[in-house]
Structure 1
Amino acid sequence: MSTWSISPSRDAVFSVCVFVRLPQLFSTCVAFSLVADMGFQRGAIGNWSMSFWSICFTITLIISIVELCRLGSEFPFFWYNISITYACYAALLCLSASIIYSITYIQLVPYGPYRDRAIAATAFSCIASVQYVTEVARMRVWYKLKEIFFYVHTTRALLKVLETFVAGLIFAFLSSTSLYLHQLALEWCVAVYSICFILAAVVFLLDLAEWEYRLLVPFPIFHLVLSLLSVLLYVSALVLWPLYQFSEELGRQPQRPSNGDFGDKLTHDMCAWDQCLAVAVLTAINLLVYVADLGYWARKISVGTEDQPGDS
């Protein structure tokens, strides 16, 4: 079945672009502009949030142009899977930016124009995340009415979205190499995050491209082995990262310092201790996701079933 034959009509595409994509573009652009206008006062957290909003704005604009020009059939994967999978990630990106920016920046800024801009940017970021969720829900209903199997609505796809997204957040908090280059065990943890992210991304792309059954081994077994490997790797990271970051016996600080390394209050950067804690929490969260993924595939193999259209 070709992508062209299952694509919405031109009127439907125009309606989605006007009533869904245009508000998304407006919200992410406003959030980006408000923080960009703060200059050096926005700090590293502001730059980090701006990168999220700019990515969402740019890709949403590209998707809108592709759909308006009816170029979806030129892509190697089914276009509807690509666009809605992106919407899932965009919703998570905007939501994460809203939460992290608000708790690490707004509460430290005194009342005034900078605080007002930060609050407004957070509000528009929240609006954007709601709009992306709305897009996913609308398209889900549309494809269900057309009786089209929608990969990203399956449990296995949602788990892969969460695995890769949480790993991306971990990499964002690891932007400072000083957090881990001083210790071999911590470098191993970073290697674990990288290896598991690459494995999850490869499996995700195989599914999107519908190439999973071209493998030499059954795909459920292949997925089960990778999930088990990822769980074991993440267990090692969950043990080693807190141990070498917060253990007093190893010369680290188990509690947040009362003074000192809080980051520059003028630019509102996160302190190193907070970044290490965020990585530890995200490691535990992603381990739970991988365990759920492992359990999902173990159950699929035990009962001998695969995802069916409508499996969610």
Structure 2
Amino acid sequence: MVFVNFKSITQPLGIMRVMAAIVSCMCFSLVASVKPDASPYWGWCIFTWVFCFFFTLIILILEFTNVSTKVPFAWEDFTAAFAILASVLCLFASILYPTFFTCNTCYRQIGASVVSWICFALYVAQVVLIHLRSTGQNSGFLSTPPGIMKMLESFFTFLIFLSLEVSQYSGSPALNWCVAVYSLCFIFAIAITFLTLGNLTVYFPFSFEKFAIVYNVLAALMYITAMVIWPLYSFHNNKRPVDCGRLCSWDKLVMITVMTIFNSIVYTLDAIYSILLVFFLSNE
């Protein structure tokens, strides 16, 4: 028998989730009501709002029916991680969409942009409320600093892949190196995340924590080289075309550069934190 939990939708956190579901639905409905755009950024924004709506609705249903108490993983960790991820997704969608797809007379697009910022605020509020009502149990990986940084690393890399075009790096060994850095670091970040979530790190014949430190340091160094090489070779004798318009391949080069810088910072922080965690904080 399924027992319903009305408190899950009448408490502040539940109300925020209901509002987030409604607002995210409004976002993709407004955007879907206008002519689709072939840009991958348009598709990314739509994906963001649909993703947020779908998982928020799932969380609401599972908590309302008390099924969330029977899931085989840390529910609080999952909801905290989702709220953090949704906040980041909505933040970038709120920046990308109005930057590339709105105009002075595009009222539905402007409305979607405004509503997206509201959606972002609602998910940030959820993050705050989840941490305020924390039960004090050990946090799962995704809601810890290393887990959050792994999510950010994967997210920024995904935006890089979204912006990459073969013509941007073909024929250039230096830019091919950058693409290799993006790919390798993305694969390892995903692998480490799943290994940690599945508690599979205990089966390693060596210290997984020290392996993670070595990886994080190498990844940070590799990304720093990419942060220097990508703009140096991409923009050498390559000014923005006059006929570029609102969005063209040159703009994607800028996006890749910015995301590379962001990821370099996150990977560096990840490396520093992992060193502190293993060699200093764990001994206290």
When the two structures are superposed, what TM-score results if normalisation uses the length of structure 1? 0.80
**Of residues 98, 105, 108 in structure 2, which corresponds to 1:117?**
108
CA–CA distance in structure 2, aligned partners of residues 43 and 220 of structure 1: 43
Q: Determine the structure 2 residue equivalent to 1:135.
A: 126
Q: Which runs of 5+ in 2 are unaligned?
A: none
1:151-300 paired onto structure 2 within 5 Å:
151=140, 152-174=142-164, 176-248=165-237, 253=238, 255-257=239-241, 259-260=242-243, 262-263=244-245, 268=246, 270-300=247-277
Q: How many angstroms does 1:183 deviate by?
A: 3.6
CA–CA distance in structure 1, aligned partners of residues 269 and 221 of structure 2: 13
CA–CA distance in structure 1, aligned partners of residues 127 and 199 of structure 2: 21
- Structure 1 range deviating more: 293-302 or 274-283: 293-302
1:57-136 paired onto structure 2 within 5 Å:
57-72=53-68, 75-106=71-102, 109=103, 111-112=104-105, 115-136=106-127
Q: Is this contact kept in 1: 2:52–2:86, CA < 8 A?
A: yes
**How many residues are treated as equivalent by the alignment?**
278
**Of residues 20, 27, 48 in structure 2, which corresponds to 1:52?**
48
Q: What do the CA deviations read for 1:201-234 (whole angstroms, capped 9, x no partner)?
A: 2222333344444432223212101102212321
1:300/1:280 CA distance change after superposition, 3 Å: same
Q: Is this contact kept in 2: 1:78–1:209, CA < 8 A?
A: no
1:199/1:12 CA distance change after superposition, 3 Å: farther
Identity of aligned residues (%): 32
CA–CA distance in structure 2, aligned partners of residues 155 and 99 of structure 1: 24
1:8-47 paired onto structure 2 within 5 Å:
10-15=5-10, 18-40=14-36, 42=37, 44=39, 45-47=41-43
Q: Determine the structure 2 residue equivalent to 1:303.
A: 280
- Structure 1 range deviating more: 184-193 or 292-301: 184-193
Q: What do the CA deviations read for 1:16-55 (whole angstroms, capped 9, x no partner)?
A: 5751222111111111111111114x55243331121112
1:237/1:30 CA distance change after superposition, 3 Å: same
1:214/1:14 CA distance change after superposition, 3 Å: farther
Cα RMSD of the aligned pairs, angstroms, is 2.5
CA–CA distance in structure 1, aligned partners of residues 167 and 18 of structure 2: 41
Q: Is this contact kept in 2: 1:212–1:219, CA < 8 A?
A: yes
Q: Is this contact kept in 1: 2:77–2:143, CA < 8 A?
A: no
Q: How many angstroms does 1:167 deviate by?
A: 1.5
1:193/1:97 CA distance change after superposition, 3 Å: same
CA–CA distance in structure 1, aligned partners of residues 231 and 114 of structure 2: 34
Q: Is this contact kept in 1: 2:31–2:46, CA < 8 A?
A: yes
Q: Determine the structure 2 residue equivalent to 1:6.
A: none
Q: Which amino acid aligns with 1:24?
A: A
Q: Which amino acid aligns with 1:155?
A: P
CA–CA distance in structure 1, aligned partners of residues 25 and 59 of structure 2: 16
Q: Which amino acid aligns with 1:300?
A: L
Q: RCO (CA 8 Å, sep 6+): is it higher in 1 or 2? A: 1
1:120/1:75 CA distance change after superposition, 3 Å: same
CA–CA distance in structure 2, aligned partners of residues 136 and 168 of structure 1: 23
Q: Which amino acid aligns with 1:285?
A: F
Q: How many angstroms does 1:295 deviate by?
A: 1.2
When the two structures are superposed, what TM-score results if normalisation uses the length of structure 2? 0.87
**In the alignment, is residue 147 of structure 1 matched against residue 133 of structure 2?**
no
SS at match of 1:98: helix
